[in-house]
Homo-oligomer: A and B are copies of this chain.
Amino acid sequence: MTNYTIKDVAKMANVSIATVSLVIHDHKRISPETKHKVQQAIEKLNYHPSRSARGLVSRKTGNVGFILTNDHFLRTEPFYTQIFMGTEFEARDHELYVLLATVDSDFGENASLPRFILDKNIDGMIIAGKVPQRLIDKMRKYDLPIVFVDYLAPDKKNSVVAIDNEEGGFLATQHLIKLGHKNIAFIGGDISHPSLNDRFTGYKNALEKAGISIVSKYIETEEDYPARANGYNAARKLFSANKNITALFACNDAMAIGAMQYLKDSGKRVPDDVSIIGFDDVAAEVMIDTPLSTMRVPKLEMGVEAMKLISEQIKNPGLINQKILVPAELIVRKSTRKI
């Protein structure tokens, strides 16, 4: 398990170290025979180039920062966790490493930036989910490539991987309409979040298109964070004030689960009395007897795409302002039914 260097490989293959380096980078100036000889030696010694030495000459660290707020990281549903795993997975192919950092969701006046930024230990960063504007402003000063996932700073100055939330919201609502529902409610938290707001827009568009009028009593968007408990509360407000709602579109699965719980507690049955559809497809909650219909979001793929974008952008800093929109897919399970 000794650590061999490029010199050892060169010696074994009877070539110069430059040749070894060129083989590694698949340079055309090398003949097939030499290439093969060198690759054999690399294999035999289990040689891996030193990242430090590489970093020193290339002036790159080989690291990418992944930033999210700690409430996102610690939340019950593994939404951003999956995205992270996607970036980590794709990072292999780019010979990059991912450094994860969480920041406080109320990034105070003199909160400090993630260490890898101050230390200059990354070549670029991926920002997942909504983060405080103050953080973004501070980070922009270091001119590192930035890619957003599932959020984009209002000035829209960076590349982004986003869900087609409006289309998704439209499809979810349309699903309920197609099942014959007319009194369709919506619950959402933190409606200032662009993603959630877009889902809401999709909801309204679908109703409008079907000629169903939008009833404000059926809309509950007061809660501040789209978590289970808030779904529970929103459902309580909604159903105690309205008796004729037959279907509910929750802005995400967490709130949908909360709402289901409320309905269960208050003696209503899903989907017999109320149909419910969520969004995200994170509800692998076996405890709930009624599997949730939802809009599936390709979380891993989003991470993969984000890593591709940041990697390109590190190599070519000109490539700014790219946008990737991924579709959400309707998944029909047991929580919605024909009326």
List residues 258-297 of chain A with CB under 8 A from any CB of chain B. Answer: 258, 261, 285-287
Interchain CB contact under 8 A, B287 and A228:
yes
Contacts of A129 in B (CB 8 A): none
Known: A51-B121, A52-B61, A287-B261. A99 touches B99 (CB 8 A): yes
Shortest Cβ distance from A146 into chain B, in angstroms? 14
- Report the minimum CB–CB distance from A22 to chain B (whole Å): 21
User: Which residue from chain B places its CB closest to the CB of A55 in the assembled complex?
Assistant: B52
CB <8 Å contact, A232 and B287: yes
With A228-B285, A229-B285 given, name 7 new contacts (CB 8 A): A3-B59, A48-B118, A73-B85, A74-B78, A76-B76, A76-B77, A88-B100
Residues of chain B lying within 8 A (CB to CB) of residue A81: 73-74
Check A39 for interface membership: any CB of B closer than 8 A. no
**Assembled-state Cα–Cα distance A120/B2 (Å):** 11
Q: In the assembly, what is the distance between CA of A48 and CA of B205, in Å? A: 53
What 0/1 pattern do residues 42 to 78 of A give for CB contact below 8 A with B? 0000001011111110010101000000100111111
Q: A52-B55, A55-B51, A81-B73 are in contact. Are A121 and B143 (CB under 8 A)?
A: no
Interface residues of A (CB under 8 A from B): 1, 3, 48, 50-56, 59, 61, 63, 70, 73-78, 81-82, 85, 88, 92, 97-102, 115-116, 118-121, 141-143, 227-229, 232, 258, 261, 285-287
Copies of this chain present in the complex amount to 2
What are 23 A-B contacts defined by CB distance under 8 Å? A1-B141, A3-B59, A3-B120, A48-B118, A48-B119, A50-B55, A51-B55, A51-B121, A52-B52, A52-B55, A52-B56, A52-B61, A55-B55, A63-B97, A70-B85, A74-B78, A75-B78, A88-B101, A88-B102, A97-B116, A98-B100, A99-B99, A229-B287
Q: List, in ascending order, chain B residues with CB within 8 A of A141's CB.
A: 1
Contacts of A77 in B (CB 8 A): 76
A119 CB contacts on chain B under 8 angstroms: 48, 51
Task: List residues of chain B with CB within 8 A of the CB of A285.
Answer: 228-229
The CB with the most chain B CB atoms within 10 A, among A120, A141, A227, A228, is that of: A120
Contacts of A232 in B (CB 8 A): 287
Are the CB atoms of B102 and A99 closer together than 8 Å? no
